[in-house]
Amino acid sequence: MKKLTALLICALFGSSAGYVCAPVLSVWMLQSSEPEMFSGSSLALYKNTVVCDCNERPAGEGAKDLSKYLSTLQAAKAKNQNSEVLPQEIGLTYIRLSMVEEKLQRQSQADQDMEHGQTKLSAVGWRDVSKSHLKSLVMQLNSEYKKLDKKDKPISAAIAAP
C-alpha cells in the first residue's frame, strides 16, 4: 500500500512539474528550431497592439508606437535578409506612420514617411504606389482590427446581433 501511495504521489508531482515546464520548454524549442516562425508570431502580436486603435489613444502615442514597431521590423529584417514579408510590412508601416503624422499636422515628416513607404513597396514589386491608393489600402487593412466588447466579439458584430 505504501508503494502505491508513493507511486501516486510521484506521478502527481511529475505531472504537475510537466504541466508547468511544458509551455516554457516548448517556447524555447520553437525559438531554437524555427526562429523565423517564432519571431513572425511575435511580430504579429506586436502589430495587433500597434495597429488596432482600440484604446482611442491620441495620435502622438500612435506615432510613437508605430515608430517603435518600425524599429522592431527593421531589426528583424537585418537578421533575416531573405524575408519577402518584412520589407512589405516595413513599407506599410511607413504609410501608417505617414497618415498619423498628417493627423498631427507634421506634413513634411508625413511626406518623408510616405516616400519611404512608396520606395519600399515598389522595391518588392508593387505596381501602384500612388499616395491615394496606399492610403485607401492601409485604411482597409486597418479596418480589420476591431475593438472587442466584453464577450470578445467585434463591436460591429455585437451591435448587429440582437
With pLDDT > 70 as the criterion, what percentage of the chain qualifies?
A: 71
pLDDT at site 17:
74
Averaged pLDDT, 82-88 = 87
C-beta separation of 46 from 65 below 8 A? no
pLDDT at 22 over 60: yes
- 8: buried, middle or exposed (CB in 10 Å: 19+, 13-18, 0-12)? exposed
Q: What are 109-146's pLDDT values in tens digits?
A: 999 999 999 999 999 999 999 999 999 998 888 877 66
**Residue whose C-alpha is closest to residue 144's, from 158, 162, 156:** 156
Query: Does the structure show a pLDDT above 90 at 6?
Result: no
Three cell numbers written together for 127? 505596381
**Residue ranges per structural domain of the chain:** 1-33, 34-160
Contacts of 47 (CB under 8 A, 6+ apart): 69, 89
DSSP state of 133: H
Backbone angles phi, psi at 83, to 5 degrees: -65, 135
Query: Mean pLDDT over residues 79-102, rounded?
Result: 90
pLDDT in tens, 57-74: 677 888 888 899 899 889
pLDDT-derived band of residue 94, with 50, 70 and 90 as boundaries?
very high
Reported as type and span, the H/E element at residue 130 is none
User: According to the model, what pLDDT value does residue 53 have?
Assistant: 59
More confident residue, 33 or 115: 115
Does the model's pTM come out above 0.75? Answer: no
Residue 44 scores a pLDDT above 80: no
Mean pLDDT calculated for residue range 18-28: 73
